[in-house]
Amino acid sequence: MSGLALDHEVDVAVTVRDGDNPLLRYVYAPDTVQLESPKPYVHPVRTRAGHVVSLYRPHDHVWHKGIAWSLPNVGDQNFWGGPTYVHGRSYVQLDNNGTQRHRGVVGLGRDGGGAEFTHELDWITQAGAPYFTERRSLRAELVSDAAWVLVFETAMTNASGASVSIGSPTTKGRENAGYGGLFWRGPRSFTGGRLVGAEGSGGDELRGRRAEWLAFTGRHDESDAASTILMVDDEANPHHPPQWFARSEQFACLNPAPFFSEELEIGDGETVAFRYAVGVADGAAEDVADDLLTAARDVLARTSGRSVVEAAG
């Protein structure tokens, strides 16, 4: 397997390349409008064969951005985008769309066969008040001729001056809508694809189940090729194993949702950390999921000592 290369658009984005194939572009300083809660995102995401497996700003949910760390209910603030769920009123557009603002690059480079980018962010309310600080790291590694793994790690410190509870629309009263966290939106052609887990495969009926991992297999227009996305929740994450917000029928998405049905309270000055592995492979899940899961778990284990918690706290 060839090594990975990094291209840095200073103050904008980082691209990780597998030869001539850009596996991912992480836009850390987007020009997103306030209504969509500006936040860094990973898009496009490609397999090693070059197939795009992410979707940016779909017309049905313009705040969906490839793969992004998106939180709809952070206290009374919305760092997801769009309207906020208010029990008894459904979704209401409020003046609470916060911003995850890039502050500075901490690390950028290649080592041990991987490519890594670390930066610091400030979470700012729409009114301009500081809410959280964050240190975030993304690391990509090739794991086979047909697959690679992205490790996403974040440590968030409450800087609001008061205790803050992170939840979801479900914790606010909407049934089975516990989205929030690391969220992947798949291509349009993946609609109607298959969710695959340890207990078998299916569709939207898997939403809300608890599991360490879940995968999604879809097919691409034109080529008819199949690709698989697999997400693994680190065992040290709060509320592990998570409930999953996952969809196939309306659109393709995966989201290990740590606040699905239970809020997490973070005291002023306290830090909370999360780690995930995202496996990206050419091929259908029945052919690649076992090896991809093994590789994703291995990368999580090997990088566990690289925690960003101490630096952020």
SS3 content of the chain, % helix, strand, coil (to 5): 10, 50, 40
pLDDT digits (tens, 9 = 90+) for 80-128: 999 999 999 999 999 999 999 999 999 999 987 899 999 999 999 999 9
Dist CA 135 CA 155 (whole Å): 5
Closest residue by Cα to residue 66 from 229, 203, 291: 229
The model's confidence at residue 312, banded by pLDDT at 50, 70 and 90, is low
Q: What is the pLDDT of residues 205-234, one digit of tens each?
A: 999 999 999 999 999 999 999 999 999 999
* Phi, psi at 181, each rounded to 5°: 125, -145
Domains and CATH numbers, the chain: 4-312 (2.70.98)
Coil vs helix vs strand at 9: strand
Q: What is the rounded CA–CA span in Å between residue 14 and residue 180?
A: 24
**pTM for this prediction:** 0.96
CB 120 within 8 A of CB 103: yes
pLDDT(148) > 90: yes
Cα Rg of the chain, angstroms: 18
pLDDT, averaged across the chain = 96
Q: How many CB atoms lie within 10 A of CB 89?
A: 9
Token pair listed for 276: 């995930």
Say yes or no to pLDDT of 142 above 80: yes
146 pLDDT higher than 60? yes
Residue 306 confidence class, pLDDT cut points 50, 70, 90: low
